[in-house]
Structure 1
Amino acid sequence: MLTKKSTLGFAATALVLLQTALVLVIPTSAASPNPTAPLQGVVQRLLPTSYHNIFDFQIVSDITPPTPENKYDVYRVSNANATNNGTHILIEGTSVAALGAGLKYYLEQATEAELTWTGNRFNELPQTPPLVPDLELDTNQVVTTGHVRGSFVPWRYYTNVVSFGYQFAFWNWKRWERELDWMLLSGINLLPAMVGQEYVARQMYKSLNLTDVEIDDFFTGPAFMPWQRMGNIQGSWNHLLTKTPATSAANELIYKNKWIDSQWELQQMILARMQELDITAILPAFQGFVPRALVSKFPDAVFKTSSAWSAFPEEWTTVTYVSQTDPLFSQLTTQYLQLQQQLNNGFKSNFYLLDLYNELIPDCMTPECLKSTTTSVTNALHSVDKDAVWAMQAWFLLNPVWTPEATEAYFAGMREANGTPFIIDLASDSYPAWEATEGFYGYDFGWSLLSDYGGLQGLFGKIPTLLTNPYEVYKQYPANFKGMGVTTETIHQNDYIYQLVLSLPWRDPNQAINGTADLERFVRRRYGPSKATPLVQDAFNKLSKTVWSADKDQESQSKSFIEKMPDLDMLVAGFMGTESWYDETIVVQAWNQLVQSALQEHNGLIPSAFKFDLVDVTREVLLMTILPALHESLVDGYKAYDVNKIKTYGRQIVSLIRDTDRLLSSNVYFSFSAWIREAKESIDPVRNLSQVTFQAAPSKPTKAGYQQFLESNARDLVTWWGPESNGSLKDYASKQYGGLLSSYYLPRWQLFIKQLEQAADAKRPWTQTSDNFLNLTLEREATWQAEIWGQRGGESTENTNGQESVEIVRELWTRWRDIAIRAATGAKI
């Protein structure tokens, strides 16, 4: 049995482990003498051939900032002449991040195009690259002027730790490469690097004499790892859902280990590219949460269990952790960070992510205890890296147990240890933690946008708040307001809102922004100048005055009725509610304008982003305006015991769901098949599927079993969210995906409608429990959880159903627009 003293030989053990560990060389700055070379790589990956040699990227240090505040990552974009008299663009910057922002500036200003999550128009760029507008070349071909921009904060960051479950869980290198290119162009220079960290943890636990089974008891499945890392949950339950020999608990262990290996290899590629693109990594730290079996290895150490999380079954929560004030915590911090650096071939970052109490309640709340906790954690980090920056998400402070006295003590402990934390105020737009902490007591923090909890997809934004609030907070705390970012939990929604926030650091914080003009320029870049017609611009203006002008107190995007268990009363206000909070008549008008604009264009010439927007706005009208109105009429029929009325509106609801499903299935960003395919193909995110092999034998692991394990993770996350059919997080991360509507949600509604007919015919009350509705639904969903996508008739395994989105929109607009107009006004339909 190991004792605390016996682990002092860890370094030697680690060296042995490294001999068999997967170690990939990460390029260092010394290995890349030209720091601007990666910019050329971005250009060649994204832009047409005629643009590949027109840019001259130069790192310079003497660019005068455009304002005293905008002094970080300054760039200058200028016109110059090449020897062949073709276009030549000089982009100078004080950093690689500045050069990336300068490249984005050129694309936006000169070509009126940009890279977004849901499409770009780079294939439509002029064959002859244009000059930067409003600049002239002098007769000696020497640049005498240029566009100069800079950021008023040193850090522009991206994403949320749970995004590594909701969005990034199954990404391969090709998809990560594109996202990193997008980050560079968006000016992002700080990113949590969370992929594959279980590889480090597994190596450490093995060095402490834990078995594979004991370690496996701790690790969750791939889609749920973010919450395991934060001590909310532990273990994996997918074998309980799939119930096949190939996905048994024993095989699940093997699949998880293969997954961890492949994710670590992917992490090496991500870190290498981040270094090239000047994106600082926030690396994982040891957070204290450990396998249960570790307790027996250290009988003298103080272990505790975290509070139960989100009403999860105790078997899967109340995670064991090492007391932060016990010497073992510091010892394991040292072991983890040193091993991580060794496995990363010496790469390190001074930023370390460490969330002690994400949606957890501390075991003690006295000021003395909290202060000693953070002092100990800070000292542990400093024992390995004297320049360590403790990066944390401030989400935990929203729990009412964090009184001003407790919060102040928590941060005072860091100050006592000379800590330098960086605090990500996770949802400054809706739940600003900076307010109650006096700007985090002088510590560096960043303002963030978050509204898509669990991956909500509804149209949503707070343009009035976004245009003013970040600058107001900056002026209140100019000394320690050090960052801005988007902490979205998923992407592929509300592109304009996120683009707007990411542009704010590059603007003068003392100058008001013309929101209308900014939106018009966005639409021109998104659709192209010729397609950004007055009709289209007016449609976007209507959206900006409704769905994108939510009140500051509006907590989140909405859920649609389709994502909730059917009931007689489905209107819910507040956080993740179903109640509409905007003028639906104006949104329906915007929908009509967008559809009419699309029908005026030849389908093949409609940009991919335009097609996405057509699907997105149509989805919003069908599910947020028409479905609630049909549901209201259906329930009216039940209350009147009018069976014919129930049948009439029941048929319309079923028809609406099927129509919406077909529409969503036509676009890869709304396709359940694409989500499942991404999961199954992630068995080897770096190379290809043929690299993954198993020995064939009954009840042994197989490639098909591995893929079903991953598919089960993907299915579970967006439906049950856990091991139970009716757990507290059921439908929390629900998705309006084509394929999911027809296979998962539609049967609920068909049973609901049938039971209302029966209850009305018998003139008796109906509830979800009296007619066994919930149990019958959950039994069917249990069968669905164990299925493999594509085995049912009509389930395409391609990314889309192969149908043209614009044609489906035209068809559905013709069928449903009159009902939408009446429903939006509140009239009975």
Structure 2
Amino acid sequence: MQTHPELDALSPIMNILGVVFFAVFACIQSIDALDFRGLHSLVQRRLPQHAKDFTFEALPEKGDKYIVGDTVGKRGAVTISCTSISACSRGLYVYLTDFGGVDIWWTGSRLHELPSNLPPVGKPVTGDAVVEIRYHFNTVTFGYTTAFWTFEKWSLLLDWLALRGVNLPLAWIGYEHILSEVFHDTGLSDTEIASFLAGPNFLPWNRFGNIQGSWGGNLPTQWVEDQFVLGKQIIQRMVELGMTPVLPSFTGFVPRALATHYPNASIVTGGQWSGFESNLTDVSFLEPFDPLFAELQKSFILKQQAAYGNVSHVYTLDQYNENDPFSGDISYLRNVSSNTFSSLRAADPEAVWLMQGWLFFSSSTFWTNDRVEAYLGGVEGNDTMIVLDLYSEAQPQWNRTNSYFGKQWVWCELHDYGGNMGMEGNLEELTNGPITALQAPGSSMKGVGLTMEGQEGNEIVYDILLDQAWSSTPLKVSDYVAQWVSRRYPVQPLPAAAQKSWQILSTTVYNNKDPNSQATIKSILELSPALTGLVNRTGHHPTLIPYTTNTTILPALKLLLQASDVSSTLRNVPEYRYDIVDITRQLLANSFVDLYRHLITVYNNSTSSHEHIMSTGSNLVRLLGDLDRLLYTNENFLLSTWIADARQWAGNGPRANTSYAAYLEYNARNQLTLWGPNGEINDYATKQWAGLVGEYYSQRWKLFVDYLAGIKQSGQPYDATYISRQLLAIGQTWQVQKWRGTKGQSWGTKGDTFDVVEEVLRAWA
């Protein structure tokens, strides 16, 4: 086999100052090297008026422990002592929330609202993490949520993570730059590499080896370079905040042209994924036992170290995400993992392999226990690997695999498929499940983590799991919710109606104990209209509503509105306004189901006329119009934000690259709708956003109603194939539109939330 010694050469891609900076933080867990500058910067960012009021000190102990107390000899100041930067961050968070009554949310930071005179601590408060690892991110979150983010949005999220005690976040941004350099060194051309890389918000599935290439045009070089710059900013901030980034590695997925350059290499073809045509899937996989694999791995990791410094030894590497191995032979599977890990250790002698455990659930027929044991067993030692038990809250795999046969693993909450927005959760399981698993005989559990596919609403279910990581006993849900609501709505006194509203939600909507309907309830209004198959789905993307709307969502909304009648200042709280829109959105989404059922009943009635169908169906379209108006009143529910975030990477004003902007917008629109050139994963990453509801979902449902009325009048039979083609055509047309200049679309908010909610309640409650 031909080899390339030049692959071992280091390709400098970062200036020396950057390398030196990262080296300063290389040993962040060593007490002697604790550097609090990142925490002081966080305080300066979020609490500038208190920049000199917080002191951080190191504790000469192991683990993650903090002590929060008043600063001796300095009134109105706080000292936080800790064993790690992450523990100090958590200690700061405890002070801010428990004593200051402020918090940082996805909707923004309220930390600057901390009282000018810092509340005293009194008796010092001590806290310990009950698990070593607090993990965050699913690989696909980088497609469904953060795909088009600039560093400003990343900065808010990273501060959110640090304060909640996360110490092991995934760091994918910039991967394609380094991977392309590795491929260039093998002799692959720009064209050959471009044919492999996916579109901007589809890159996660390219990294997983599910898809290759882009159906909207080749990934521009500008995107690759800009993301590399962003990635360096993100990793620098992670390290400053005491987090160890989980870095990418070479997985084995390669452009097809590599087989031409290396005809003797062991390259196999992966399986077809989710109905994509073979040119967009069937990804080539370089077998890890081929010597070329180790060469490329070493090249990748050395280039990555040159770019970021020696900031981490933990590497994410998933080879069989929703694609089964080439062979199920036990020795083959052990050989694959053994050589994969050897390649990591050859490049980094301290390497730890992190992988998602999703494959053991999604392809459980293939991954029998003996195969799981063989694959994991190929990695020598138990502290050399971390498995993310991705769906612990509903479909745990740790219990059927004997705690992953001794490998370290993390209890994770999946949730939020595709970034869907339905209100759903199981607070009791999120507090009891991790503690039960941690205390199980022979447990090798080392952490808890958030592995949601998207980050859209349901913030309480994510907060409570990260907080559970700092409690050795299950948190009492009722007390937790009451405290959470008090700091979410920092109004004194907080009206009792607000607490009562969330008491209802937490014991019903967020008390879903049915694993078949967990992971965010999807509304049928986001699905392609059909006569059957929409309502009461369970399993993946459930539409079954496991509660009664009129005794849960409706009274909770009315109580929350009553709270602002008692205290009008509530209406100035961004999180309160968000929740009012979100709960009203859920009310309308659930009401749509009743209207749909009535439409189908009327259609199936042999005596119903064309007029009956049109009259009944018009209610569905009218509700969607009201939902769109509601969503337009809040900046967190706008399609225009998603599109603007995408287009901004092409520049703004007269210097904007218009063709690049159109490419980015196409990708952004396609994922929300067809998810593929021909609707291969249609309606998966749906959102209830203003503009998307009014311009897309409404159009589809109007077509469906008109079609039912037309065939009722003509006497023609229902043709499912015909209506599917028409709906696909709507999607194909909509995704190539441009936001600017489209009639009726708005870049920002419009209308008053409370006026629209009042109208909605009159019309639909």
> Shared fold (TM-score greater than 0.5)?
yes
Give the structure 2 partner of residue 796 of structure 1. 746
- Does the Cα contact within 8 Å between 1:72 and 1:153 map onto a contact in 2? no
Equivalent-residue separation in structure 2 for 1:38 and 1:300 (angstroms): 49
Q: Alpha-carbon deviation of 1:572?
A: 3.7
- Does the Cα contact within 8 Å between 2:468 and 2:475 map onto a contact in 1? no
Equivalent-residue separation in structure 2 for 1:433 and 1:217 (angstroms): 36
Equivalent-residue separation in structure 2 for 1:810 and 1:741 (angstroms): 20
Give the structure 1 partner of residue 29 of structure 2. none
Give the structure 2 partner of residue 296 of structure 1. 260
Q: Alpha-carbon deviation of 1:805?
A: 2.1
1:686-735 superposed Cα distances (whole Å, 9 cap, x missing partner): xxx47x96xxxxxxxx70111111111110111111111x32x1111111
TM superposition score normalised by structure 2: 0.94
Equivalent-residue separation in structure 2 for 1:533 and 1:490 (angstroms): 32
Q: Residues 634 and 22 (structure 1 numbering): CA distance in 2 closer, same or farther, change over 3 Å?
A: farther
Q: One-letter code of the match for 2:764? A: W
Q: One-letter code of the match for 1:673? A: S
- Relative to structure 2, which stretch is displaced further, 317-326 or 527-536? 527-536
Give the structure 1 partner of residue 711 of structure 2. 759
1:364 is the counterpart of 2:314: no
Give the structure 2 partner of residue 60 of structure 1. 59
1:80 is the counterpart of 2:74: no
1:70-121 superposed Cα distances (whole Å, 9 cap, x missing partner): x7310000013555xx401111111111110001000111111211113454
Residue correspondence of structure 1 range 483-502 to structure 2 within 5 A: 483-502=447-466
- Does the Cα contact within 8 Å between 2:670 and 2:735 map onto a contact in 1? yes
Give the structure 1 partner of residue 226 of structure 2. 262
Equivalent-residue separation in structure 2 for 1:119 and 1:594 (angstroms): 21
Equivalent-residue separation in structure 1 for 2:25 and 2:277 (angstroms): 50
Give the structure 2 partner of residue 777 of structure 1. 727
1:414 is the counterpart of 2:392: no
CA-based RMSD: 2.2
1:271-314 superposed Cα distances (whole Å, 9 cap, x missing partner): 11111111101111100000111111112211101111111111
1:382 is the counterpart of 2:345: yes
Equivalent-residue separation in structure 1 for 2:510 and 2:521 (angstroms): 13
Give the structure 1 partner of residue 575 of structure 2. 609
Q: 1:544 pairs with 480, 503, 506, which one? A: 506
Equivalent-residue separation in structure 1 for 2:382 and 2:744 (angstroms): 62
Q: 2:162 pairs with 184, 190, 199, which one? A: 184
Give the structure 2 partner of residue 672 of structure 1. 639
1:634 is the counterpart of 2:599: yes
1:106 is the counterpart of 2:95: yes
Equivalent-residue separation in structure 1 for 2:492 and 2:110 (angstroms): 12
Equivalent-residue separation in structure 2 for 1:184 and 1:670 (angstroms): 26
Equivalent-residue separation in structure 1 for 2:255 and 2:18 (angstroms): 27
1:448 is the counterpart of 2:396: no
- Does the Cα contact within 8 Å between 1:458 and 1:559 map onto a contact in 2? yes
Residue correspondence of structure 1 range 634-653 to structure 2 within 5 A: 634-640=599-605, 641-653=608-620
Give the structure 2 partner of residue 424 of structure 1. 388
- Does the Cα contact within 8 Å between 2:69 and 2:79 map onto a contact in 1? yes
Question: SS of the residue aligned with 1:386?
Answer: coil
1:236-292 superposed Cα distances (whole Å, 9 cap, x missing partner): 1114xxxxxxxxxxxx45xx2100000000111111111111110111110000011
1:403 is the counterpart of 2:402: no
Q: One-letter code of the match for 1:97? A: S
Equivalent-residue separation in structure 2 for 1:741 and 1:118 (angstroms): 21
- Relative to structure 2, which stretch is displaced further, 633-642 or 593-602? 593-602
For structure 1, the 5+ residue unaligned runs are 63-70, 136-144, 240-251, 694-701, 818-829
Give the structure 1 partner of residue 423 of structure 2. 459
Higher RCO (C-alpha 8 Å, min separation 6)? 1
Equivalent-residue separation in structure 2 for 1:331 and 1:123 (angstroms): 50
1:157 is the counterpart of 2:146: no
Question: SS of the residue aligned with 1:436?
Answer: coil
Residue correspondence of structure 1 range 507-518 to structure 2 within 5 A: 507-508=471-472, 511-518=473-480
Q: Alpha-carbon deviation of 1:482?
A: 0.7
- Does the Cα contact within 8 Å between 1:306 and 1:363 map onto a contact in 2? yes
Q: Residues 363 and 34 (structure 1 numbering): CA distance in 2 closer, same or farther, change over 3 Å?
A: closer
Residue correspondence of structure 1 range 115-130 to structure 2 within 5 A: 115-130=104-119
Give the structure 2 partner of residue 657 of structure 1. 624
Q: Alpha-carbon deviation of 1:24?
A: 4.9
Equivalent-residue separation in structure 2 for 1:22 and 1:557 (angstroms): 46
Give the structure 1 partner of residue 403 of structure 2. 439
Q: Alpha-carbon deviation of 1:557?
A: 1.5
Q: Alpha-carbon deviation of 1:602?
A: 3.1
Equivalent-residue separation in structure 1 for 2:330 and 2:17 (angstroms): 43
Q: Residues 78 and 23 (structure 1 numbering): CA distance in 2 closer, same or farther, change over 3 Å?
A: closer
- Relative to structure 2, which stretch is displaced further, 356-365 or 34-43? 34-43
1:757-797 superposed Cα distances (whole Å, 9 cap, x missing partner): 1222234542433xx22222222322211111122111112
Give the structure 2 partner of residue 720 of structure 1. 674
Q: One-letter code of the match for 2:588? A: L
Q: Residues 36 and 710 (structure 1 numbering): CA distance in 2 closer, same or farther, change over 3 Å?
A: same
- Relative to structure 2, which stretch is displaced further, 278-287 or 332-341? 332-341
- Relative to structure 2, which stretch is displaced further, 105-114 or 583-592? 583-592
Q: 2:663 pairs with 709, 716, 730, which one? A: 709
Question: SS of the residue aligned with 1:801?
Answer: coil
Equivalent-residue separation in structure 1 for 2:614 and 2:16 (angstroms): 61
Give the structure 1 partner of residue 192 of structure 2. 214
- Does the Cα contact within 8 Å between 1:598 and 1:806 map onto a contact in 2? no
Q: Alpha-carbon deviation of 1:343?
A: 2.8
Q: One-letter code of the match for 1:720? A: L
TM superposition score normalised by structure 1: 0.87
Q: Residues 370 and 782 (structure 1 numbering): CA distance in 2 closer, same or farther, change over 3 Å?
A: same
Give the structure 2 partner of residue 698 of structure 1. none
Q: Between Structure 1 and Structure 2, how many residues are aligned?
A: 751
- Does the Cα contact within 8 Å between 1:29 and 1:35 map onto a contact in 2? no
Q: 1:28 pairs with 22, 25, 30, which one? A: 22
Q: Alpha-carbon deviation of 1:394?
A: 0.4
- Does the Cα contact within 8 Å between 2:423 and 2:458 map onto a contact in 1? yes
Equivalent-residue separation in structure 2 for 1:31 and 1:309 (angstroms): 41
Q: One-letter code of the match for 1:230? A: F
Q: 1:202 pairs with 169, 180, 183, which one? A: 180
Q: 2:754 pairs with 803, 806, 829, which one? A: 806
Q: 1:573 pairs with 537, 540, 551, which one? A: 537
Equivalent-residue separation in structure 1 for 2:547 and 2:25 (angstroms): 54
Give the structure 2 partner of residue 824 of structure 1. none
For structure 2, the 5+ residue unaligned runs are 27-32
- Does the Cα contact within 8 Å between 1:78 and 1:147 map onto a contact in 2? yes
Equivalent-residue separation in structure 2 for 1:651 and 1:552 (angstroms): 34
Q: 1:326 pairs with 279, 282, 290, which one? A: 290
Q: Identity of counterpart residues, as a percentage?
A: 32
Equivalent-residue separation in structure 1 for 2:502 and 2:169 (angstroms): 31
- Relative to structure 2, which stretch is displaced further, 777-786 or 193-202? 777-786
Give the structure 2 partner of residue 620 of structure 1. 586
Question: SS of the residue aligned with 2:127?
Answer: strand
Question: SS of the residue aligned with 2:336?
Answer: helix
Question: SS of the residue aligned with 1:491?
Answer: coil
Question: SS of the residue aligned with 1:200?
Answer: helix
Q: Alpha-carbon deviation of 1:600?
A: 4.1
Q: Alpha-carbon deviation of 1:638?
A: 1.7
Q: One-letter code of the match for 2:460? A: Y
